[in-house]
């Protein structure tokens, strides 16, 4: 079965320090992977995606993610955290069954709350 | 730049009542989705649509119905509200392929 795991419920980091939010996936074939961010009382906002190509993907707000096929991971990273980065982060993988239909059925992880302290 | 608009933002229902959650998008996306978000559970897909007149069930469709008469609108109907349907509901749309989904700001629904 396809799945996404975010092993940490919460990540705490000091402002200015690098941050990593972890994501591992289980899917047959080549995965389409996404990161979204959710601020309080708002919907999810797209950060970045990996479909193919360079294993290091750059996205919005200075975030990047590293795809590692051998470890089936897609960790989100940022070199220097900001207090404004505090939010809920979701990793998602495209359901392999939706490929033929053209639509983007996503399987989401449970989310990781990032807290950046001044 | 309206994107995906959901109404209402908040609602309290009594058990057994019915209501419709509205969702409209102005990006001419063919694909639309309804999710529910429960604490610590991520998002679960309720229903999705690949175009006007075509809908299909997601992971958790029981207790819900949808329709898609136009490209823009994708309402979600709760017929007999139950406490287990207390959640935050998100509507999303996408152009398809590998493109990301665009989300509305959600409807917070409490059933008492």
The predicted-structure confidence for A74-87, as pLDDT tens digits, reads as follows 999 999 999 999 99
The pLDDT value recorded for residue B94 is 92
Q: Which residues contact B82 (CB under 8 A, 6 or more apart)?
A: B15, B63, B111
The pLDDT value recorded for residue B2 is 79
At which residue do the structure tokens 């059933």 appear? B111
* Preferred mutation among A7, A33, A44, A100 to probe B, highest tally of B CBs within 10 A: A44
Q: Which residues contact A43 (CB under 8 A, 6 or more apart)?
A: B4, B90, B92, B103, B104, B105, B106
Average pLDDT, chain B: 93
Residue A102, chain B, CB below 8 Å: the answer is: yes
The pLDDT value recorded for residue A103 is 60
Ordered by where they begin, the domains of chain A are 3-117 (2.60.40.10)
Give the Cα separation of A63 and A35 in Å (integer): 10
- Encoding tokens for residue A110? 């449970």
- Which residue in chain B is spatially nearest to A39 when comparing CA positions? B105
At which residue do the structure tokens 């709350």 appear? A113
Which CATH number belongs to the domain containing residue B102 in this structure? Answer: 2.60.40.10
Domain total for chain B?
1
Give the Cα separation of A103 and B29 in Å (integer): 11
Are A49 and B98 inside 8 Å of each other by CB? yes
Q: Give chain A positions within 8 Å (CB) of B40.
A: 9, 110-111
Give the Cα separation of A8 and A31 in Å (integer): 22
The pLDDT value recorded for residue B34 is 97
The pLDDT value recorded for residue A30 is 82
Q: Give chain B positions within 8 Å (CB) of A106.
A: 43, 45, 101
Q: Give chain B positions within 8 Å (CB) of A51.
A: 98
Q: Give chain B positions within 8 Å (CB) of A111.
A: 40, 42
Distance of CA A70 to the CA centre of its chain: 17
The pLDDT value recorded for residue B55 is 93
- With beta carbons less than 8 A apart as the criterion, state whether A31 and A24 touch: no
Give the Cα separation of B88 and B9 in Å (integer): 10
Over residues A80-115, the pLDDT tens digits come to 999 999 999 999 998 866 555 556 688 999 999 999
Over residues A26-64, the pLDDT tens digits come to 988 788 999 999 998 899 999 999 988 889 999 999 999
Residue A19: Cβ-neighbour burial (10 angstroms; 0-12, 13-18, 19+): buried
Q: Which of A44, A104, A110 sits opposite B31 (nearest CB)?
A: A104
3-state helix, strand, coil in chain A (%, to 5): 10, 50, 45
Give the Cα separation of A93 and A6 in Å (integer): 12
Are A105 and B105 inside 8 Å of each other by CB? no
Residues of chain B with pLDDT under 70: 1
The pLDDT value recorded for residue A102 is 55
User: Domain range spanning residue B93?
Assistant: 4-111
The pLDDT value recorded for residue A94 is 87
CA atoms within 13 A on the CB side of B88: 19
């Amino acid at each position: 079965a396809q799945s996404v795991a975010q092993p940490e419920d919460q990540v705490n980091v000091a402002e200015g320090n690098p941050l990593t939010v972890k994501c591992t996936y289980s899917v047959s074939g080549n995965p389409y992977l996404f990161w979204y961010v959710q601020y309080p009382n708002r919907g999810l906002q797209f950060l970045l995606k990996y479909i193919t190509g360079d294993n290091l993907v750059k996205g919005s707000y200075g975030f990047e993610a590293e795809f590692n096929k051998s470890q089936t991971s897609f960790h989100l990273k940022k070199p220097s955290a900001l207090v404004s980065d505090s939010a809920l982060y979701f990793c998602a993988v495209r359901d392999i069954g939706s490929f033929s239909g053209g639509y983007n059925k996503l399987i989401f992880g449970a989310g990781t709350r990032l807290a950046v302290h001044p | 730049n309206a994107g995906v608009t959901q109404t209402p933002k908040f609602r309290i229902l009594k058990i057994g009542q019915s209501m419709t959650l509205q969702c409209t998008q102005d990006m001419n996306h063919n694909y639309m989705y309804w999710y529910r978000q429960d604490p610590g559970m991520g998002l679960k897909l309720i229903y999705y649509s690949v175009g006007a007149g075509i809908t299909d069930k997601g992971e958790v469709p029981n207790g819900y119905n949808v329709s898609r008469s136009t490209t823009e609108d994708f309402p979600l109907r709760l017929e007999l509200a139950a406490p287990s349907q207390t959640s935050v509901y998100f509507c999303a749309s996408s152009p398809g392929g590998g493109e990301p989904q665009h989300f509305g700001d959600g409807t917070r629904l409490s059933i008492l």
